[in-house]
Every structure is written in C-alpha cells, then in structure tokens.
Amino acid sequence: MDTGMDKYLGTTLDDRYEILEIIGAGGMAVVYKATDLRLNRFVAVKILRDELARDEEFRARFQTEAQAVAMLSHPNIVSVYDVSHSDDVEYIVMELIEGVTLMQYMLKKGVLGWKEALHFAVQISKALEHAHEKGIVHRDIKPQNIMLLRDGTIKVADFGIAALESAQEQRSSQTVGSVHYIAPEQAKGEQPDTRSDIYSLGVVMYEMLTGSMPYDGETAEQIALKHITGNAVPPQELNPDIPDELARITLKAMNAGINDRYQSAAELLSDLEAFRKLQASRRASSEDLTEDYDGIIPDVEPIGRTGEMTKAKYARRRKRSKKVSIMSGAAGVLIFMIAIFVFLWNYWLRDIFSAAERIELPNFVGQNYESVVNDSSYKGLYAFTVTYSIDPTIPEGEIISQDPEAGRSMMIVPEGIEVTLTVSTGVREAQVPDVLNRSYSEATLMLQNAGFKVDPQYASSDTVTEGYIISTDPAPGEPLAEGSTVFITISSGPVEHTVSMPNLVGYTESEAISILHSNNLVYADTTFIESDQEKGTVIRQSINAYEDVPERTRIYIWVSTGPAETPAPPATEPPSDQEGG
C-alpha cells in the first residue's frame, strides 16, 4: 500500500540522487535533502506528488517550466541543476540553501532598518530582472519564497514553479498567488505579467520597512478587494525613519494601476541604485565637511568720484600694482604646489614612503553583540554588519561567528574595517500549533511557519484518515524552543488483518457463503459447471485453502451441476407385417 511520499526515503533516483530526508512540503510537491553521488554534494530534490504525476497535461507543464527555470543562472536565484522524469516520478534537482526565509527573519527581527531593506530589495530586483529577461514570471513573490543566507545574500526560490501551482489553483477555482502579496490584476483573475512580480516586491518592501502588511482583512476576498482599490497607508506614517524617496519608490512599485507602477524590474532597480548612491554621497559629504559657512558677504561702502588722477600718482600706483601682481602670482603658484603635494601625499606618496598601518583582527565570537558595537575603542576602527541566526544552544545576543576570522592582519582604512557578525537570536519559545487531523502538507507548513523543524513518521489508524496527523510530540499547545524539531505521526490508514482461507470444497453453495462471511471474507459470485462431483457441492474456489489473505477479500466459487446425462438410445420401430397374395 502507498503510504505517501515517504516511499522515496532511502531510495536513489536515476542511480545518482540518494534521498535522505524531507525538508519541506507543499500542495504540489515534496522537497527532500539528497546527496548527489556523482558530484559528492548535498542538493534539494523536489518531487511532484503522485496524484499530479499521473496527470499527463500537468507532467508536460512541469517538464516545460522546470527546463525553462534551469536556464536561469544568477547569484540571487536558487539554481536548478537537473530535471528528470520517468514513468512514475517527476523531479527537479536544486541548490540546497542553508539559511532562513525572509519571513522567518522578519518575524525574529521585526521592522528592518531602511538600509537593510534596501539591500534586500536591490538583490530581489536583480533576480527579477534576470528572470524577466528570460521570459519567466514568478507569479508568487513573497517572503516565504525568498531565502536569506548568513552572509546577507538573498536567493529567490520557486521561479516558474509558481506557474504550476497557479494552474493547480485555477482548476479548483482559487485565486492565484498569496493574497497578502497578490497583484490587483491577479486578484481580478487576469493573466499576470512581469509587472505583477514588481507589485508583489513592492508589498514585500512595504512589509520590511514598516513591519505591517499594506492591506489586511478578515477574509481573503476583503484583502483582494483592498489590493484592487489600492489605498495603502503611506509607510512614513508607520515608520517616520523611512526616507521620503524610498517610500516613494515603494508606493510606485505597488501602485494598483498596472501602467502607473514600474514597467520593468530594471526600471525599479535603477531608482533603487540611484537612491543608494545619493545616500552614500550625502554621508560622504557630511563626513568630509569640517566648517559651516553662512555665506554672508560683509557690507562694503561704495566708492565715490574722487577726481582725475595725476600722471605721477598714476605711475606710482601702476608700479605698486605690478609688484603686488608678481607677489600674488608667486604666492598662488606656491599654494597650488602645496595643494598638489598634499593630494599626492594622501593618495599616493604616503603609501610609498610609509608602511601601511595594520591591525590584527580581534576575536568577537562569544562576546555580546551590544557590548562590541558600543565599545568606544572600536568606534571608527570597524564597520560592523550584523546577520542573525536561530540557535537555541547559544544565548540571545551572543556572537556566533565573524567574517573575516579572528587573527587576520587587516589594513586600517578611513571608512573602517568591514566585519560581518552573526548573532544568535537565542532560545525563543513558541507553542506547538494544533495540527491534529490536518493533512501532512498543511501541518508541515503550519509548524515551519511557527519556527519549528518537522520529523515525520507513519502509523496505522482505524480512526484517522490516511495522510492526516494522528499525534505530535510535543503535544499541541506545549511550549518549545523555536528551531527545535516536532515529531509528527501520520496515519497510514487502517491496519490490514489477514485470515486463513477456509476450505470450501465439498460444501454446498449456501454453506460455503456462510463460511466466507464467518471468516470476514466477501462472497463474490458462483459459476455452475458440469462435474463428476455431487450436484450442488463446491468443487473449486478462487483462492486455495489455508493461504493467508486480507480480510474483505472477494472470493469466487464453482459449484457442480452433476455429471453430464448419457443420452438414451433411439427407439427402433417393430417390423411391419406384410400380407401375402
């Protein structure tokens, strides 16, 4: 009996990909961690669910979309390495991402600083620009589909696959896309295009900057209607620290009018880059400015007419002016040469005639993040960038790792030595969601959204539907550290009991039927045939006696009608009497 997608665990696909464990599940496919035996590396394998793999039309679309996505090659897109299909399995092999989703990161950190949000938005825009140039629309940009690596790199996942999920949703008359990030044209049931992805990115930017969704409601229909009408609260009202230009870019990206928003990811990226350069130049100007000039020119008395100048006076003034001009010119040349020397010394000569000042990078690992960044001895010496990692074994705020590593000899630079610190979010507890009697895919999603890992196992049940959750460990409602594993037990359906097939031969038909019923077997049908056996007795059964068979098996019997009757010899007529003449 097929107990679900766990049948692939421990198997090797195409003699190459050894399936190790389930790491995610959705309505369309299950994602496994696997080992690429040929290249000796870990990969992610997404296998199409069996019921969809049996659909020829859906399989064809799966192959087409997956092969198209495999052509994408960009540092901000999860790479697709391989696409394969056979008679009974469809799968794609992808880059295995060791990180968290942007949604998980935002849940832990809350409102992101505008610089961090800008950093993420630029990377997502670059991913969209590349995919759109290849003719691929994502259709479901949301924080759950965006992966964040420890070094701050963004990876957009499921390009093209969302198109398949859309097709599946359309079959069940559902609205395509996640309703909180859905573009108005998608909410109306219209065909999405590249500008729909830009709208969804705008919503993600709004959420990063404010910590809130631009539109919310009690039902999906209410939220979709708000997207269509398009009247979001300006983000500065929720977070006054957002620069006006970045707020303008965000609202333009998520403009309800498809022709009023950015028409391409390249156009959006151009505005984001221009804003970033503007902010960088402003910071540089404010750092270099040492004096404030008020621009006030002192009052000067106007010169009146003093009469004609004599020749002698004119000659004296001309001589004096010539001397002043020569001296002023010499002074100007000297000042210019000094300025040139200072410039060359600062940018070239100093490096030649003096050894560059260097410092050995200290070990920040194990220290508290706040104490490090607020240490006055580090001010101006280091430029810290912080990323966060969920690690229940390390206290909140403690630095887990650093890049570059401690002990490296680094040159001191005016802008500060760049050091990336990875900080633990610590042990954060959450209640285990109640997923009992929910489907495996739905339960997995709920648990992952709550911050837990999932470890599935199967058990038979006479009361819980196959593929639905029987129990969890810990139980629903119990507190558990985020990042911990919740063990779920999935129903494999009722237990199959077997019985020993009784002997029916020699019994009458009614007796045989009664014996079947008493052994929890099902009488199927009787065939009557001629036989040397006694008429009305069973002479044959569809399953031999004493074999083990599952309960409720249908059994056929054959009953004798007796031997064939021997035909009587034909009657002979007596000879007729002949009269003599």
Distance CA 95, CA 174 (A): 30
pLDDT given at position 202: 97
pLDDT for the residue 183: 92
**Contact by Cβ (8 Å): 513, 541:** no
- The class (CATH top level) of 498-560 is alpha beta
Q: Quote the Cα angle for 549-555-561, to 5°.
A: 140
- Supply the pLDDT for residue 555: 92
| CA dist., res. 472 & res. 163, Å (int) | 33
- Distance in angstroms (rounded) separating the CA atoms of residues 35 and 58: 27
> Is the CB of residue 148 less than 8 Å from the CB of residue 154?
yes
Taking the domain 358-424, which CATH number applies? 3.30.10.20
Q: Which residues are catalytic?
A: 140
Instruction: Return the closest-CA partner of residue 47 out of 95, 84, 79, 2.
Output: 84
**Domains 429-491 and 498-560 equal at CATH topology level:** yes
Give domain limits for the chain: 5-95, 99-282, 358-424, 429-491, 498-560
* Tokens, residue 235: 């983000």
Q: Domain spanning 5-95 has what CATH number?
A: 3.30.200.20
Q: Which of the four CATH numbers 1.10.3720.10, 1.10.760.10, 3.30.10.20, 3.40.50.970 does domain 429-491 have? A: 3.30.10.20
Render each residue's pLDDT in the chain as its tens digit; 581 residues.
344 667 888 889 888 999 999 888 766 788 899 999 988 889 999 888 887 777 777 777 777 667 767 778 888 998 888 888 766 788 889 889 888 889 989 988 889 999 999 999 999 999 999 988 888 888 889 998 899 988 788 999 877 554 444 444 444 334 334 789 999 988 887 888 899 999 999 999 999 999 999 998 888 888 888 898 888 999 999 999 999 999 999 999 999 999 999 999 999 999 999 998 888 777 665 555 433 333 333 333 333 333 444 555 556 656 665 665 666 667 767 777 887 776 665 555 554 444 457 888 889 998 988 888 888 888 878 888 877 776 667 787 889 889 888 888 888 887 788 888 888 876 667 889 999 999 888 898 889 888 888 888 888 888 888 889 999 999 999 888 777 789 999 988 877 788 999 999 999 999 999 999 999 899 989 999 999 899 999 999 999 999 999 888 899 999 999 887 766 666 666 665 554 44
DSSP codes joined into one string, 231-249: -PPPHHHH-TTS-HHHHHH
DSSP 79: -
HEC string of 528-544?
EECCCCCCCEEEEECCC
Instruction: Identify the DSSP state of 60.
Output: H
Q: What is the pLDDT of residue 541?
A: 94
Q: Which CATH number fits domain 99-282: 1.10.510.10, 3.90.105.10, 1.20.1090.10, 3.40.50.720?
A: 1.10.510.10
CA-CA distance, 272 to 502, in Å (whole number)?
Answer: 80
* Distance (Å, whole) CA 224 – CA 175: 9
